[in-house]
Amino acid sequence: MKKIVLLGALVASVFSVSAQTTAGKIFSGPDAGKGFQLGSEKSSQVILDMVKAYNSNDSEKDLALYSPEMQKKTGDFNKKWHAYAKKLNNVPYAVLPIKVAGSTDEIVMLQSTEERETIDGSKQKMNLFELFKVDKSGKISDFNQYSSIPATNEFGKTSGGKIYTKDENNGSAFQFSNRGEVAAIEKLNKAYNAMDINATLEFFADKVKLTDFDGNKVVLEKKDLRGMVEGYASLDWKIWGILPFKIANTDPVSGIMVTSSEKRVSKDGTVWEKSLVEFFQFDLNGKISGIDQYSRPKK
């Protein structure tokens, strides 16, 4: 509702003073200091035609309304998206064309709701606010999208799930973390398989709390971790998935779930091979400070 109110206020402000030809202001970029003027109904119709083509789930019709540069830039994604979609229904709530004073391009603001159903059965509903740039030839030459996700959505939410704990975080939701944990695990994987212990140790804090596959709990110093590589002829850790998450509304300490398989060949020829689930904790400095390990025989 907030976006509806804001857009309504913008429309009201544009029409409240009929003698005013410009309003607002750009604060940065090549047009800094310039104001906005009303655009044309022609540009509004271009966007409404695009919505119709989009809802038909026809990539060719959709892309025909974009400039050659935009077709080249977004064509592959557009085709894949329409091939993945089963049903699309974008319903405009308001459309408003404006332009920067002196520009031949126009900006069309579109507020809408959109229901999406894909070929794999996933469903999604979005509240959207979009900015389209329409060039002087009547083609869409740029596009930015902003969305809010209803609480009832099947997927795409920024938080979810629940943690059960005895502290103040009990009942809190989880959310994705994005402090470089995925890249760190990938680099750790590469260094570990190369048996480069110095590179491997770079990802760990000075002390690491470890709960191993047998439930043993120990606190290891970084120097103790050299045993991960020493004594082995080869290491082959194959990652299947990396899921970075944290507790919502808490500090950025994160827990990373990694599913994988691993084969270790000792120098004496002994082979250890398992399917694994491991939880890595990344501390405030982005270093691994804890590991919980679970395993089963690989079949």
Do 21 and 125 reside in the same domain of the chain?
A: yes
Q: Averaged over 108-114, what is the pLDDT? A: 97
pLDDT confidence of residue 17: 42
Domain assignment present for 228: yes
pLDDT confidence of residue 20: 57
Going from the C-alpha of 123 to that of each of 21, 53, 85, 117, 174, the distances in angstroms are 44, 20, 10, 5, 21
Domain assignment present for 159: no
Do 254 and 211 reside in the same domain of the chain?
A: yes
pLDDT confidence of residue 247: 94
pLDDT confidence of residue 190: 98
Rg for the chain (alpha carbons), in Å?
27
Task: Give the chain's domain count.
Answer: 2
Alpha-carbon distance of 81 to 75, in angstroms, equals: 10
Last residue of a domain, one of 131, 148, 165: 148
Do 255 and 191 reside in the same domain of the chain?
A: yes
Do 131 and 24 reside in the same domain of the chain?
A: yes
Do 55 and 182 reside in the same domain of the chain?
A: no
The single residue listed with the structure tokens 């470089």 is 180
Domain assignment present for 157: no
Do 141 and 26 reside in the same domain of the chain?
A: yes
Domain assignment present for 164: no
**Tens digits of per-residue pLDDT, 78-105?**
999 999 999 999 999 999 999 998 899 9
pLDDT confidence of residue 188: 97
Q: Averaged over 110-125, what is the pLDDT? A: 94
Query: What domain range is 232 assigned to?
Result: 174-297
**Tens digits of per-residue pLDDT, 151-189?**
888 888 889 999 999 999 999 999 999 999 999 999 999
Q: Averaged over 50-72, what is the pLDDT? A: 97
Do 6 and 144 reside in the same domain of the chain?
A: yes
Last residue of a domain, one of 130, 148, 166: 148
- Asked if residue 9 has pLDDT above 60, the reply is no
Residue 50: band (very low, low, confident or very high) from pLDDT cuts 50, 70, 90:
very high
Cβ-based neighbour number of residue 19 at 10 Å: 4
Do 142 and 208 reside in the same domain of the chain?
A: no
Do 110 and 182 reside in the same domain of the chain?
A: no
Query: Which CATH number belongs to the domain containing residue 202 in this structure?
Result: 3.10.450.50
- Asked if residue 240 has pLDDT above 90, the reply is yes
Domain assignment present for 289: yes
- Asked if residue 299 has pLDDT above 90, the reply is no
Strands of the chain (E only): list them.
Answer: 36-38, 85-100, 106-118, 123-134, 140-148, 159-160, 174-176, 204-211, 217-221, 232-247, 254-266, 271-282, 288-297
pLDDT confidence of residue 156: 85
- Model confidence, pTM: 0.75
